A and B are shown apart, each in its own frame.
Chain A
């Protein structure tokens, strides 16, 4: 009977039943099957109201949406172009840094490709980068800043796993920078081979652009100094970031009108938060039921028959998470999979912070892999190209990211250098 219900729900899910409905109804059936009252699912959901860090997610989301609507991505592109655009391949580096910077705020929800893709694609084409390279670069750059503070994916991972969010933010910085470096070096090589023309460096132009985007540059500094300096909590940093972004766009740059534009930004932010956290709410009960039914322990017993070392475990974990990343979006994957793998990772003595970064790195790569790699779909809509064309274009970047993943997995010091 259980298999039948799970099978039917899975089938509905694959045909498009919203994931939170699938998880909620799965929870009802699982609790009835375990002779428990389904109200326990709601008790778990209500536990969300005791999670202080959860407040940071809607507030950072609001900050990202205000910046996106206010034209912050365009200002950043102008800034990085003035700084790096003079190099052979400089515009590609500008693309990588701008997208990473913006994704850290927007939460890799596809906003980066939508907000920056339309601006950077014509610029790359005009600068005579090959079309295939440009498409691959923009498609893969849409999820690059996922490991930088104040990434919503990191916040959600911290809440679900109970790992200190401050530690996760710190652990993501070097791996994130390493990926930017690897992709930049590759892009510079491609640009050199393609003999992409460059423009002259102008100090006065750079100064002018820096002045024009000073408020944007200061924002990450405020967050990093605030959180890592111990001056504010993550939630307080989120509120200050949202207030700063609101002030920047409505008062300083005047790109948004407080009465005309902000209500729309608020409802868009609430919708994005609702789509992510409703899954967390209903999944908490279901995953607890799965844990109570000893599912992780059974998986562990099965794995112990075949896997003896942490390295083997990590390799298998990477393969598993790449498949998960290709099938589920990052937020639902965190909510559903993290509680199940945490006990397994603990058994193989994988540091939970290291595990978090590996987990998110896998899902970052999952954004580019069919059948449901979300960046492929968004880029397909944005650039009016078939998904297969974009996948082929993104393939060199995907391979580089896989090498990066192996480095992160087998060199824990890249993640845990600060311990």
Chain B
């Protein structure tokens, strides 16, 4: 059940992050063509593009969580044995889930304010801003799942899956 949820989450993150990046490219190119060829522009597209960057950031960060590749300054962890690091990993991911949940809460409060005070013609931008609480919630859920299920697929080089992947690569 949890594994299926994790797979679904990764699929969602992949589709949203990749789709947003592709859409971002298309929108900026549209602006370039509109400006240089037709001497016009679409201010709306600028606002959408900037929000799309937030989509790429949050859902891309979700993918990074799955791959165990978040930027760290783990100077002390590098002194530990692989076994000790493995033991430490799950509580740290659990703590990350908790702290991301706190950020989700405050992001939710912020978004409610944005929604309430947005004028009717700016409501769509407020809808797009929902990516912030949703993004933190996705990250919290992903950290929680990694904490419960571990990093079997990616970050544990001793795992069977990783060994199989390495073997497949070498052949």
Closest B residue to A63 by beta carbon equals B25
Stretch at the interface among A50-58, A163-171, A179-187, A360-368: A50-58
User: Taking the complex as formed, is A90 at the interface, i.e. its CB lies under 8 A from any CB of chain B?
Assistant: no
Are A16's CB and B85's CB within 8 A? Answer: yes
* Residue numbers in B under 8 Å from A50 (CB-CB): 50
**In the complex, what distance in Å separates the CA atom of A384 from the CA atom of B128?**
46
Which of B31, B51, B69, B72 has most A Cβ within 10 Å?
B72
B21 near A62 with CB under 8 A, answer yes
- Complex CA gap A371/B56 in Å reads 31
B59 touches A42 (CB 8 A): no
Q: Tell me which residues across on chain B come within 8 A of A43, comparing CB atoms.
A: 110
B113 contact set on A, CB distance < 8 A: 39
What distance in Å separates the Cβ of A320 from its nearest Cβ neighbour in chain B?
16
Docked-complex contact A327 and B73, CB < 8 angstroms: yes
Interface hits, A215-264 → B, CB 8 Å = 232, 235-236, 238-240, 242-243, 263
Q: Chain A residues near B28 (CB, 8 Å)?
A: 55, 59, 235-236, 238-239
> Majority SS of interface residues in chain A?
helix
A59 to B52, CA, bound (A): 12
State whether A46 and B132 are in contact (beta carbons under 8 Å apart), knowing that A21-B96, A39-B113 are contacts in the complex: yes
Contact B24 A55 (CB under 8 A): yes
Measured in the bound complex, the distance between the Cα atoms of B96 and A16 in whole Å is 10
- Which chain A residue lies CB-closest to B69? A275
B70 at the interface (CB under 8 A from A): yes
Contacts of A282 in B (CB 8 A): 103
Q: Within the complex, which residue of B50, B88, B129, B132 is in contact with A16, where a contact is CB–CB below 8 Å?
A: B88
Residue numbers in A under 8 Å from B106 (CB-CB): 28, 37-39, 41-42
* Cα–Cα, bound, A369→B109 (Å): 43
- Chain B residues whose CB sits within 8 angstroms of the CB of A41 once the complex forms: 103, 106
Assess whether B103 is in contact with A28, with CB atoms less than 8 Å apart.
Answer: yes
Interface flag for B148 (CB, 8 Å): no
A interface footprint on B89-106 (CB within 8 Å = 1, 0 otherwise): 100100110011011001
Stretch in A7-15, A143-151, A190-198 with 4+ CB within 8 Å of B: A7-15
By the criterion CB–CB under 8 Å, are B63 and A267 in contact?
A: yes
User: For the complex, what is the distance from the CA of A281 to the CA of B53, rounded to whole Å?
Assistant: 11
A45 CB-CB contact with B under 8 Å: yes
In the complex, the answer to whether A14 meets B75 with C-beta atoms within 8 Å is: yes
Residue pair A270, B25 in contact (C-beta under 8 Å):
no
Q: Are B22 and A266 in contact (CB under 8 A)?
A: yes
CB distance from B79 to the nearest CB of A (A): 9
* A331 in contact (CB, < 8 A): yes
Closest beta carbon of chain A to B83's beta carbon, Å: 14
Q: How far is the CB of A226 from chain B (nearest CB, A)?
A: 10
Q: Which chain A residues border B132 with CB–CB below 8 Å? A: 42, 45-46
Q: Are B109 and A39 in contact (CB under 8 A)?
A: yes
Q: Is the CB of A13 within 8 A of B73?
A: yes
Between A263, A276, A279, A281, the greatest number of chain B beta carbons within 10 A of the residue's beta carbon is seen for A281
Chain B residues with CB under 8 Å of A21's CB are 70, 95-96, 99-100
Expressed in whole angstroms, the minimum distance between the Cβ of A28 and any Cβ of chain B is 6
In the complex the two chains form, is B73's CB within 8 Å of A277's CB? no
Q: Cα distance A17–B100 when bound, in Å?
A: 12
User: Which one of A16, A51, A55, A275 has the greatest number of beta carbons of chain B within 10 Å?
Assistant: A16
Instruction: Answer whether residue B118 sits at the interface, using C-beta atoms and an 8 A cutoff.
Output: no
The residue in chain B whose Cβ has the minimal distance to the Cβ of A11 is B76
Residues B129 and A49 in contact, CB atoms below 8 Å apart: yes
User: Which of B49, B57, B74, B109 has the most A CB atoms < 10 Å from its CB?
Assistant: B57
The verdict on A278 contacting chain B, using a C-beta distance below 8 Å, is yes
Chain A: minimal CB distance from B51 (Å): 5
- The verdict on B44 contacting chain A, using a C-beta distance below 8 Å, is no
Q: Which of chain B's residues has its CB closest to A19's CB?
A: B71
| B56 and A270 contact, CB distance less than 8 A | yes
* Pair A39/B77 contact, Cβ less than 8 Å: no
| Most B C-beta atoms less than 10 A away, residue of A17, A25, A236, A269 | A17
- CB of B147 within 8 A of chain A? no
Chain A 328-362 per-residue mask, 1 if CB under 8 angstroms from chain B, else 0: 11011000000000000000000000000000000
Given A16-B72, A48-B54, is A278 in contact with B61 using a C-beta cutoff of 8 Å?
yes
Cβ–Cβ < 8 Å partners of A272 in chain B: 60
Known A-B contacts A46-B129, A243-B29; the reply to A276 vs B71 at CB < 8 A is yes
| Pick from A15, A54, A62, A281: contact of B92, CB under 8 Å | A15
A303 within 8 A of B: no
Q: In the complex, how many angstroms separate the beta carbon of A241 from the nearest chain B beta carbon?
A: 10
* Contact assessment for A274 and B58 in the assembled complex, using a CB-CB cutoff below 8 Å: yes
Contacts of A28 in B (CB 8 A): 99, 102-103, 106
Chain A to chain B contacts (Cβ below 8 Å), 24 pairs: A16-B72, A16-B74, A16-B88, A16-B92, A18-B72, A19-B72, A19-B73, A24-B100, A39-B109, A41-B103, A43-B110, A45-B107, A48-B50, A49-B129, A54-B53, A235-B28, A263-B18, A269-B21, A270-B20, A270-B56, A273-B60, A275-B69, A277-B60, A281-B57
CB within 8 Å of A: which residues of B?
14, 17-18, 20-22, 24-25, 28-29, 31-32, 46-47, 49-51, 53-54, 56-64, 67, 69-78, 85, 88-89, 92, 95-96, 99-100, 102-103, 106-107, 109-111, 113-114, 129, 132
What residues make up the interface of A, taking CB atoms closer than 8 Å to B?
A: 11-21, 24-25, 28, 37-39, 41-43, 45-46, 48-52, 54-55, 57-59, 62, 232, 235-236, 238-240, 242-243, 263, 266-267, 269-279, 281-282, 327-329, 331-332, 371-372
